[in-house]
Amino acid sequence: MSSFLPYLNFDGTCREAMTRYQQVFGGTLTIMGIEDVPGDEEIPEGFAGRVIHADLSLETGGILMASDTRPGGGRVPQSTYVSYQAPDVETARRAFEDLATDGDVEMEFGETFFSPGFGTLADRWGTLWMINVEADGPPPGMG
């Protein structure tokens, strides 16, 4: 089975961001820091405390992965969003409001012609999010 899995990169804030995402979405968070790498390799300059891999696994099967880049190596996303499909409007609204704290709302969360709840934002780490509640049927005029 093939699939696409989002993999986010941070410039030293991966642990903080992924811990917050677990608080927002639930699930199981696994974090491997550079200090956890097997062997006695010396940690490269500037890498102390950085995350080399993290994954947040939801009970529904969704996975969000991330790591820290080399110092100064991260880029803020320009047009790629992580799309979260919530089971209901209340769950979606709560996730939207939590992620919007100290972030920038692009499109306020609300009902649209294609969804009972949808909104977009950039969170405090620069990750772009689309929060959506799947409609019960196709949008008007599309089915």
The pLDDT tens digits for 35-81 are 888 887 788 888 889 999 999 999 988 999 999 998 877 776 678 99
3-class secondary structure, 65: strand
pLDDT range class, residue 138, cuts 50, 70, 90: low
Collect all residues with Cβ–Cβ distance below 8 Å to 135 and sequence separation of at least 6. Answer: 114, 115, 116
Give the helix ranges, DSSP H, for the chain: 14-25, 89-100
The pLDDT tens digits for 96-127 are 999 999 999 999 999 999 999 999 999 999 99
Q: What is the pTM of this model?
A: 0.88
Candidate from 2-16, 96-110, 127-141 with smallest mean pLDDT: 127-141
Report CA-CA distances (Å) from 137 to 4, 83, 88, 112, 119.
Answer: 24, 19, 14, 13, 19
Query: What pLDDT was estimated at residue 140?
Result: 52
- Residue 99, CA atoms < 13 Å, CB-side half-sphere: 30
